[in-house]
Amino acid sequence: MSSVRYMQGNEAMAEGAFAAGATFYAGYPITPSSEIAELCSERLPALGGVYMQMEDELASMAAIIGASLAGRKAFSATSGPGFSLMQENLGLAKMLEVPCVLIDVQRSGPSTGLATRPAQGDVMMARWGTHGDSSIIVLCPATVQDCFDLTVAAFNFSERFRNPVIVLGDEVVAHMRERVEIPDPGQIPIYPRRLTDGQGQYFPYRAGPDGVAPLAPLGGHILLHVTSSMHDETGRTNNEPDNAGRIISRLWNKIEQHGDEVIKTRHFGPEGAEILVVSYGVSARAARAALDLGAGEGIRMDLLELLTLWPFPAGRIRDASRGKRMVVTAEMNMGQLVREVRGASLAPVFGVSKSNGEPFEPVEILEGVRRHLGTKEGSR
């Protein structure tokens, strides 16, 4: 069974977090994600959880790391300027292998930019914002139903891979209202925290065959060493090159080698289309309508909608582009994901960009396709 509700995207992300078992939120209100903090302040105490409004985003990220290490499912929400401030502690969460979820509702920038306007300019920051080598999972909703479903998935992935996970929304999807089906609690798959059995000596960073180690909550009877410095399996500092190589490779491989588990895409359009459109978030909604406009002009297009941006779905791009005349990537930035698409595609790739704080009109994507028809080599 399931219940049907009419709700806002930000509300759906908050409800997805509650459904996934989140009991701790720390954050600083920022447009256009503030409704998430507001809902958490109301709902979490009633659910036996904790809401903390922090002094800034640096402290917010630190608080959810601490809460998660103590055994809570923890998350925060922000937008671009706050996301920038969270990068240092996001790197700490990667190094400590802390399961947590961070929601970034994108808005136009740089800096304060157009605070109430949409954009998709945080794509590369989500992947590469922290220094050093590590991998991360980034999910991108295009509908309000996605906001709920992908937030649940984000918590499950964070526990499965013992890693922070980012839900990368945008202002339009976060503030639109749509019909959402919410399964009954018993129908929602929940990945439990992988805890040590407490037998023998505990090694907090001794990974199993899948590259992930079990956790022991801070403050319990099992000693848990955590440090931001390079460490060995015990959690104590170890600066030997061989050890560093093993740790960094494992942090990378535990996600990159399990991409099939986390990569989600949707396909729209007719069989045998000659042009592939690749898009995500609110831009993908306009791209769906652009397919119909193109069909009316005899331009046969299909759409690969990316719900997982990182790890990048290179294999899906390669398969979808096979035999195509060209590939067009539509995104609300100056061209961020198009470079990744170009590296994976079997056909020439072109970018259609928009970065003025307004979402695409379907006709703008179709115009971009028309503009590139007949061009032999992909260029943004």
In a domain, 237, yes or no: no
pLDDT-based confidence at residue 378 (cuts at 50, 70, 90):
very low
DSSP 356: S
In a domain, 212, yes or no: no
Residue 377 in this model has a pLDDT that exceeds 60: no
Between residues 197 and 352, the one the model is more confident about: 352
- Percentage with pLDDT > 90 across the chain: 94
Q: Which domain holds residue 82?
A: 2-187
**Taken in order 365, 329, 303, 299, is the CA torsion positive or negative?**
positive
CATH code where residue 52 lies:
3.40.50.970
In a domain, 205, yes or no: no
pLDDT-based confidence at residue 198 (cuts at 50, 70, 90):
confident
Mark whether 27 and 129 lie in a shared domain.
yes
CATH code where residue 320 lies:
3.40.50.920
Q: What is the pLDDT of residues 34-83, one digit of tens each?
A: 999 999 999 999 999 999 999 999 999 999 999 999 999 999 999 999 99
CA atoms within 13 A on the CB side of 354: 21
Mark whether 285 and 180 lie in a shared domain.
no
pLDDT-based confidence at residue 375 (cuts at 50, 70, 90):
low
pLDDT-based confidence at residue 380 (cuts at 50, 70, 90):
very low
Length of the chain (residues)? 380
pLDDT-based confidence at residue 379 (cuts at 50, 70, 90):
very low
Residue 95 in this model has a pLDDT that exceeds 80: yes
Compute φ and ψ for 53, nearest 5 degrees.
-90, 120
Q: What is the pLDDT of residues 296-346, one digit of tens each?
A: 999 999 999 999 999 999 999 999 999 999 999 999 999 999 999 999 999
**Number of domains observed in the structure of the chain:** 2
